[in-house]
Structure 1
Amino acid sequence: MATVELTHTPILNSSAQILVLPVNTAGILLDPVLMRTKTLFPDNHQRYYRACRDNSLKVGSCLLHKRTLEHAGLGISSNGNQPSYIANLVTSDHPYHPTRARWLNASLIDLQQQLMPLIRYQGIRRVALLARPLISYHTLQADATDALDSSNSVPLDWHADTLPLLTRQLQDLPKLRIDIHLPNSISSYTH
């Protein structure tokens, strides 16, 4: 059974073997941490962006990328705790659209299925998940199109919706520690 921990430490300082980054199918990254990962992990960003451009990335999926680790230059000396894998958790179709429960649930199931062989055969034990893109700061401003379109849903509440869904989908993974990195504005208590 996995251990799920909430933390306020910066995810890019994590010693996790896998970074889980919530992304969208538009290929547009607005979160400052996601923007930073473009330069820190260019091989992952190129693969993610290409999948968005080719329309091969679907909402509710997970694009797992095995990183090519640098063996020379600044990359080798910058940070000894670089992740081996980056999981691009596709939770939205656009950066301005909130994550929906069904999309998050489907992407977590896909992530879980891809993690099992890595846990069993590659010895993966630590995962870090960036929570900020999953937290909606928008007050719901329903305009005429939103009122007519029933597919638009209310943004998920972190404590009532998102955290329980993350915990439920990830807790059954064996021998794994999952650190969920929260922004400082969100308390780390659980109900």
Structure 2
Amino acid sequence: MVDPADTIGSVEETATTLENVEARVIDTDIATAHVPEWPALPVEAKMALMASAEVPTTVIRDRNTTTDGYHALLVDLLDASADADLTDDVYLDVGEGAEDGTDPSNEEVNDEVTSVEATAFNGYPSEGELRVLSFISPNVANGHVLDEVGLRYGDRMVNHSTLTREIEKDENTEATITVVLSFGHA
């Protein structure tokens, strides 16, 4: 089976922006039409298929705002004696408060709907970046219009993004959200 972290493409860079948040959204009926065993697939297989061209997905790419919590995390990583497991106690908070924007001082998303545990990791430390993938299942956040995400390590939010295209969440919608944190030289 393909590891979904291996199928996530690299972050796209343009002259003015670094897009480091990606959401892939799929309708389960469409997914099942392309892959009949879709409902029974494990999350990892669904994530891999959503990252490939095998099933049609809507892709949303956006920038993030790193928070004061991110800068504190970088300082913590400088301490060689600290336990710096960046794959432990990691959550993606998802909300519907994009109209309130993002700010480096944010400690939580503006209007949290749900929090999902990170599903997969790829990159750090060998690549100087960490890709954190989270899966939003069909039974989570139904009836909400999701438009903001925040990556959290323990109780510290390190990344906050508003989505330029909303995710109208219902029981037929599944999504993966990938957040990329860079730990290299600018």
Question: Is TM (by shorter chain) over 0.5?
Answer: no
Structure with the bigger percentage of helix: 1
Structure with the bigger percentage of strand: 2
Question: Could you say which TM-score interval applies, normalised by the shorter chain?
Answer: under 0.3
Higher relative contact order (CA 8 A, sep 6+): 1
